[in-house]
Structure 1
Amino acid sequence: MAIRGSVLGGIATMVGSGASNQVGAAVGAHAFATIGPAGVVAVRQFVAAAVLLPVARPDLRRFTWAQWWPTLLLGLVFATMNLSLYTAIDRIGLGLAVTLEVLGPLAVALAASRTRLDLFCAIAACAGVYVLVLPGPSSDYLGVGLGLLAATCWAAYILLNRLVGARLPGLQAPAAATTVSALMYLPVAATLFLHGRWEPAAILYAVGAGVLSSAIPYAADVIALRRVPARFFGVFMSIHPVLAALAGLLLLNQTMHPHEWAGIAIVVAANTVAVRAAADPERRPHPRPRRSPTKSSSPS
């Protein structure tokens, strides 16, 4: 019963984390008209750094170059991923942008294996994206491209996190990387300030996005990973497009067509199958047993 309660608590925490993340994105979208996606991302990075630095307390002066270079790359990925995602949200809507973004973790999962099931998942994901977008003269190809750029950044985030997580303990890596990203956005903040675009309402929306999309999910994910297996956590990431579509509908009045819901369902299903398959120990290659040397018989 205790184990079951722990798992249920982990699931509830993941649902809360995912909902908080997407509600935060929707809240931040209310400030796009005033400070733009770049301004919202800047405030979000400032908030994330303000939360993570006191918690992790990384000693940046003691970082070696082997620790610094992946941290700097991770900071660049943070900056690019958030800006491309928020700009995509501004152009094509929250549900579609987040659905395209989850193709990043899907690609990482598919790269781990070469089976027919993986090929099927890749084809299904491509079909889902086609159904979701239904390319035509009125399609916003720049918005779709930015969503795919966010997906590429999320894949890079996963790979860099594995590397830097082995070189820096605790939350030191994301704290340092978020600080690097925040420093990169200082010129954006200064430009907006000089043009008098820092309106209190817009700042409040952007701060809300920082708290809901950065501070709360970071803490919630740490708690969830203590209660549920990492494989299950990875599969659960597939629910984000659904939560994003609901947040866009309820908070931004972004209605979606039936083909968009169908595309989201296909991408979520492909992502779920691929992540579960990549994490299945029975599908991982096993090392070949070494043959014990045998004495060869020679004629006497």
Structure 2
Amino acid sequence: MNSDRTVLAAALAILGSICSVNLGAAVAKTLYAGIGVEGVVALRTGIAALLLLLLGRPWRVRLQAAQWGWVLLYGLTMGLMNLLIYWSFIFIPIGVAVAIEIVGPLAVVLAGTRALRDRLWAGLAVAGLALLVPWTDHAAALDWRGVVLALGAATCWALYIVFGKQVSRIGGRQVVALGLALACIVTVPLGIVRAGPLLLSVPVLAMGLLVALMSSCLPYLLEMFALGRLSPRLFGLIVSASPATAALSGYAVLGERLTLPQGIAVALMIAASAGAALTGRPAVSRPREDLS
């Protein structure tokens, strides 16, 4: 009984994590008009990095030169992934962008497999993408720039997983904190150029703190609690619901409504991700510091 309660608590923690991430993304989009995407991402990653540096204390880890290379790639990919997915939110609904972005880890899970069932999941993902790519009239409401940016974020997510496997051998929370700090090399200068002194105004800083807590720090703590208590497959199955929670967050905060084809596409992407999580080999999860 205690074991069942532990698994349930861990599952609820992961569900809370993905809801917090996507609700934070929707709140972040409300700041675009004032400080731009670059300013929002700079605040999110900068504040989250400071908080996680205090939590992770990465200065305790001694890295060799080769290890520094992997951590740098890990951090820079994290920063670029943040920028690309947040840029995509300008042009397409958050739920659609997250559904496209999930192609990245799905591709890693299915890479190299020849099993028929895994080809089925890949086929579902391709069908979902086909409904979202604006090459016919039914997808005219989608801006191709948002689709391309979300696909770029998906590519970064796949690379992030590859680099994450390397840095996971070095350390845990310390390396994640260090990677997020290195991500700021990409995000913070762009934010300063875009928003300048506005980043330091009290209302903007307060909203930036809220976004950082919702999209990075709280999900990170929830995942730290849950990861050791859930199997990789159950973890992946719950995380596959991310596009649905993103769509609900976009509707609740921003009033974003998906068309019927977009809703079907998101459902296909969720089914593909859930199926791959249940039957494929698990990929490294994405800590929510990236984070979309």
State whether TM-score is above 0.5: yes
How much has 1:55 moved relative to structure 2? 1.5
Match of residue 289 from structure 2: none
- Quickly say closer, same or farther: Cα 1:196–1:239, change in 2 above 3 A: closer
Give the Cα separation in 1 of the matches to 2:269 and 2:188.
36
How much has 1:16 moved relative to structure 2? 0.6
- Quickly say closer, same or farther: Cα 1:189–1:89, change in 2 above 3 A: closer
Match of residue 156 from structure 2: 153
Letter aligned with residue 39 of structure 1: G
Structure 2 residue matching 1:62: 3-state secondary structure: coil
Letter aligned with residue 87 of structure 1: W
Match of residue 226 from structure 1: 228
Matches within 5 A, 1:191-206: 191-192=193-194, 194=196, 196=198, 199-206=201-208
Match of residue 106 from structure 2: 106
Give the Cα separation in 2 of the matches to 1:247 and 1:194.
29
Q: Is the 8 A contact 2:36 2:195 kept in 1?
A: no
Match of residue 164 from structure 1: 167
141, 146, 151: which one aligns with 1:143: 146
How much has 1:212 moved relative to structure 2? 0.5
- Quickly say closer, same or farther: Cα 1:136–1:72, change in 2 above 3 A: same
Match of residue 17 from structure 2: 17
Q: Structure 1: where are the runs of 5+ without partners?
A: 281-300
Matches within 5 A, 1:1-300: 1-59=1-59, 62-136=62-136, 138=140, 139-166=142-169, 168-192=170-194, 194=196, 196=198, 199-279=201-281
Letter aligned with residue 95 of structure 2: G
Give the Cα separation in 2 of the matches to 1:205 and 1:112.
43
Deviations 1:211-241 (CA, angstroms, capped at 9, x unpaired):
1011011111111112211221122221000
- Quickly say closer, same or farther: Cα 1:194–1:214, change in 2 above 3 A: closer
Would you say how many aligned residue pairs link Structure 1 and Structure 2?
A: 279
- Quickly say closer, same or farther: Cα 1:95–1:193, change in 2 above 3 A: closer
How much has 1:150 moved relative to structure 2? 0.7
How much has 1:62 moved relative to structure 2? 3.2
How much has 1:49 moved relative to structure 2? 0.8
How much has 1:61 moved relative to structure 2? 8.2
Q: Which moved more, 1:72-81 or 1:114-123?
A: 114-123
Letter aligned with residue 172 of structure 1: Q
Deviations 1:152-186 (CA, angstroms, capped at 9, x unpaired):
111111121111111x2221211111111123333
Q: Is the 8 A contact 1:35 1:198 kept in 2?
A: no
- Quickly say closer, same or farther: Cα 1:241–1:193, change in 2 above 3 A: closer
Give the Cα separation in 1 of the matches to 2:61 and 2:106.
36
- Quickly say closer, same or farther: Cα 1:197–1:58, change in 2 above 3 A: closer
How much has 1:134 moved relative to structure 2? 4.9
- Quickly say closer, same or farther: Cα 1:203–1:136, change in 2 above 3 A: farther
How much has 1:70 moved relative to structure 2? 0.8
- Quickly say closer, same or farther: Cα 1:8–1:31, change in 2 above 3 A: same
Q: 4+ residue runs of structure 1 moved beyond 6 angstroms?
A: none
- Quickly say closer, same or farther: Cα 1:71–1:197, change in 2 above 3 A: closer
Structure 1 residue matching 2:240: 3-state secondary structure: helix
Q: Is the 8 A contact 1:30 1:205 kept in 2?
A: no
Deviations 1:110-153 (CA, angstroms, capped at 9, x unpaired):
11522122222112111112223453474411110100111111
How much has 1:9 moved relative to structure 2? 0.4
Give the Cα separation in 1 of the matches to 2:188 and 2:246.
28
Structure 1 residue matching 2:109: 3-state secondary structure: helix
Structure 2 residue matching 1:73: 3-state secondary structure: helix
Q: Which moved more, 1:129-138 or 1:266-275?
A: 129-138
- Quickly say closer, same or farther: Cα 1:244–1:194, change in 2 above 3 A: closer
Structure 1 residue matching 2:48: 3-state secondary structure: helix
Give the Cα separation in 2 of the matches to 1:154 and 1:110.
14
Give the Cα separation in 1 of the matches to 2:198 and 2:52.
29
Give the Cα separation in 2 of the matches to 1:98 and 1:177.
22
